[in-house]
Amino acid sequence: MHHRDTEDTEMELNKLTEKMHHRDTEDAEMELNKLTEKMHHRDTEDAEMELNKLTEQIIGAAIEVHEALGPGLLESAYEECMCRELALRQIRFDRQRPLPVEYKGVKLDCGYRLDLLVAEAVVVEIKAVEVIVPVHEAQLLTYLKLGGWKIGLLINFNVAVLKDGIRRRIL
């Protein structure tokens, strides 16, 4: 939320608090509910804008890597280069982040690892395959669910034009 919006919201909250003290509680409660909904909507929009900006930056980094290397290398080479590109752009990330599976209250270390987790918000799965198949997309969606993240990118570098190898998924 922007600074000016925060000041306006605080003023509205102060007015509502005063109304509640003057026994206008029913009106004040209705206004408070509207204001709370408005604030939540604004926060959600801001978060979505930040995630969109972040995924654009990640895709930009992937395009840079693909333009430099082209298709035909191993997934590990693209992963290494993506890490270098993200670091150059000063974008925080974890590489090969462990992802435990929780089953009936017990965390199991099944050896699952995210290729990249960018800014603690976007799961990036890197592929170098002939074609993305449904199991690749299912894997990404499962990782999102297991980790509680909302957005992921599946990037296949083994394509002539990278935009044909990118899938963005949202839970």
Query: Both tokens of residue 49?
Result: 């804008």
State the pLDDT at residue 54. Answer: 96
In this predicted structure, what is the pLDDT of residue 1? 46
**Contact between 162 and 134 (Cβ < 8 Å):** no
Report pLDDT for 45. Answer: 76
Size of the chain, expressed as the number of residues it contains:
171
Give bridge partners of residue 102 from the DSSP assignment. 107
pLDDT along the chain (171 residues), means of 10: 58 58 60 61 76 96 98 97 97 95 87 95 97 96 95 97 96 91
- pLDDT computed for residue 145 by the predictor: 94
pLDDT at 159: 97
Give all strands of the β-sheet with 122-127 in edge-to-edge order.
93-98, 113-118, 122-127, 151-156, 166-170
Cβ 129 vs Cβ 115: under 8 Å: no
pLDDT of residue 95: 98
Domain boundaries, the chain: 3-170
pTM: 0.74
Q: Looking up tokens 């395009």, which residue turns up?
A: 63
